Structure 1
Amino acid sequence: MPTLRALECLIAVLDAGSITDAAAALHMSQPALSHQLAALEREIGAPVFERLPRGVRATAIGRAVEADARAALTAAARVVDGGRAVARGESGRLRLACAESLTASLLAPVLRNWLRRNPAVHVTLTEATSADDLVHHLESGTADLALGPRPTRWTGHSQLIGPEEIVAVLPTDHPLSHHDRLTFEDLHDHPLIHYHPDNGLATWLDTQAATHGVTLTPIMRTRQATTAAQLAASGLGIALVPTTALTPALPATLKHLHPTLTRDLICLTATPTDPLLRRFVSDIVNRGVPVNPSVRTRLT
């Protein structure tokens, strides 16, 4: 198969009409250019130029392959230009997977600014209900970057975004609403708005409670942390909710747990050397874990 350099030499000679002028235009020696042309002719099996006393003239074969040679060089230039655009973060594709409770609070603000700066970047998003589900998307090749809690299994590259606090959401008239902080022991005999087993928070919270010798008592289950907070606010029970899922106007009482309960949020990347992914991860990490100021005030 002919090299791009050989095709470049062919086009240069066709445009210049001589070996000497083509070599000068390509900053090559004449023997080096002639070597490229000879290699091309061996590949084709016939001469592409007729040597004249002064200059050269394309043969019928040389003229026949000219259009395809120019198209190949143009395509190669597009490959390089496209790669450079992706490396600068100006183009390319981002396949994201995100824990569904973090899409609005953690991902959306960064993604909005990113797409404003890089409108040619095509983004696809898959939401997941657990950290291990995020790993599945990376391992199956359906995502290049995953955002969420730390999974139970992942041997690839990861970068810490920051800790996310889990707090108790209670109806405003709940008997525990006057406590400064709540322990898992406080929750033992109270109905809990818990999470569906598909949501990784369910197993994680059960494990955390078990370390304190407590078994949580679900009165109902939901897949969404935001919904759990709203159900608790409506008076159905207590919910343990990540602060990133709390809305400022939630009509409920918010309490820290004692000891403070947090989980790490991280970026998982299948190809950490990818320039486009590195830029996006940097933006996520620099922003950190968001907590609405009004929510923070209600917790202090």
Structure 2
Amino acid sequence: MATLMALECLVALVDEGSVTKAAAALHMSQPALSHQIAALERELGTPVVERMTRGIRVTAAGRAAAEEAKLALEAAERAVQVGRRVGEGLGGRLRIACAETMTAWLLVPVLRQWRTKWPQVSLDLQEFSSADRMVEELMADGTDLVVGPEPTATTAHVEVLGQEEVVIVSSPNHAFADRDSVKVSDLAGEPFVHYDATNGMGAWVDEFVADYGTRLDVVLRTRSPRTAAQLAGAGMGVTIVPVSALAGRFSATVRRMEPRVHRDILAITLTPSDALVRRFVADPRRRGLPRVNTERQVQL
């Protein structure tokens, strides 16, 4: 296949009309330019120039090839410019997978700022209810960056963005409203809004309460912590949610656990040196995780 250098030499010959001028324009020797032209002619199987007593004359094949070569060289230059912009974090495409509760709670201000400051960057967002499922997507090259709680295991690069508190939610008139905090043992006998198997929070809750020797009285299950919080606020039972699930407006009693419980929020990627990934991860780290009022009965 013809090299870009050979095509550049052909275009210079057409533009300059002589080997001497073409070589000077490309800052190369005449023998080197002639070598490139000879290689191109072997590739095409036909002469691109006729050697005359005084100078050269470009053939019809040479002129036709030169027209296409100009397009190829322009495309190559655009490729270089795009690569530089993306390498500087100023353009390109970034695919983000996040826990479904993280979008409104954590990422909306980050995404809004990126849309304003770097409109050349295309952002793709997918929401998941399982950290393990997000990591699977990352390993299958379905996303560039995962934002969410800790998965079961991963060999990818991990950065901690901060810690998110896990709290108890009940209705505004529940007995928990008169307490400053709630123990895990207080959940025994309470109707409990749990999670189905598609949400990694379900396995976490089961393991967590088992460590305290407590059994839950499950009355219904949902895929979403946000839905669980709203159902608990509506009096369907009590539930355990991360504070990121409390975005939106609904009446509920939110209480800290005793002792308080937190989970790490992570940024996970296979390309930590990528400029877009580095810049995006730096943004929520600089901002810090949002705070939620867990000290009183609130309408969120």
What does residue 40 of structure 2 align with? 40
TM-score w.r.t. length of structure 2: 0.91
What does residue 89 of structure 1 align with? 89
Amino acid at match of 1:56: I
Amino acid at match of 2:152: T
Task: Call closer, same or farther: CA 1:251–1:5 in 2, change over 3 Å.
Answer: same
Shift of 1:270: 3.0
The aligned runs of 1:62-211 (5 Å cut-off) are 62-211=62-211
Assess if the C-alpha contact under 8 Å between 2:254 and 2:295 holds in 1: no
Assess if the C-alpha contact under 8 Å between 2:166 and 2:240 holds in 1: yes
Shift of 1:58: 0.6
Amino acid at match of 1:280: F
CA distance in 1 between partners of 2:48 and 2:252 (Å): 82
The aligned runs of 1:263-282 (5 Å cut-off) are 263-282=263-282
CA distance in 2 between partners of 1:107 and 1:248 (Å): 15
What does residue 291 of structure 2 align with? 291
Q: Structure 2: 5+ residue runs without aligned partners?
A: none
Amino acid at match of 2:17: G
Shift of 1:164: 0.7
Shift of 1:38: 2.0
Assess if the C-alpha contact under 8 Å between 1:244 and 1:291 holds in 2: no
- The Cα offsets for residues 149-192 of structure 1, whole Å up to 9 and x where unpaired, read as 11002111121111110011122332232222211111122222
Task: Call closer, same or farther: CA 1:114–1:297 in 2, change over 3 Å.
Answer: farther
Assess if the C-alpha contact under 8 Å between 1:170 and 1:252 holds in 2: yes
CA distance in 2 between partners of 1:25 and 1:140 (Å): 47
Shift of 1:287: 2.6
- The Cα offsets for residues 6-37 of structure 1, whole Å up to 9 and x where unpaired, read as 11011111111111211221111222222222
CA distance in 2 between partners of 1:19 and 1:66 (Å): 15
CA distance in 2 between partners of 1:161 and 1:240 (Å): 22
What does residue 239 of structure 1 align with? 239
What does residue 59 of structure 1 align with? 59
Identity %: 49
Task: Call closer, same or farther: CA 1:84–1:48 in 2, change over 3 Å.
Answer: same
Shift of 1:296: 5.2
Assess if the C-alpha contact under 8 Å between 1:196 and 1:221 holds in 2: yes
Amino acid at match of 2:257: L
Shift of 1:219: 2.0
Runs of 4+ in 1 over 6 A off after TM superposition: none
CA distance in 2 between partners of 1:14 and 1:166 (Å): 71
RMSD between superposed Cα atoms in Å: 2.0
CA distance in 2 between partners of 1:60 and 1:169 (Å): 79
CA distance in 2 between partners of 1:47 and 1:247 (Å): 71
Shift of 1:297: 5.7
Shift of 1:247: 3.7
Amino acid at match of 2:88: R
Q: Structure 1: 5+ residue runs without aligned partners?
A: none
CA distance in 2 between partners of 1:118 and 1:208 (Å): 42
- The Cα offsets for residues 239-277 of structure 1, whole Å up to 9 and x where unpaired, read as 212111214754222211122111111112133332222
What does residue 22 of structure 2 align with? 22
Amino acid at match of 1:2: A
Task: Call closer, same or farther: CA 1:248–1:139 in 2, change over 3 Å.
Answer: closer
Assess if the C-alpha contact under 8 Å between 2:105 and 2:247 holds in 1: no
CA distance in 1 between partners of 2:215 and 2:195 (Å): 14
Deviation larger for 52-61 or 139-148:
52-61
SS at match of 1:252: strand
Amino acid at match of 1:4: L
Amino acid at match of 1:226: R
Assess if the C-alpha contact under 8 Å between 1:193 and 1:239 holds in 2: yes
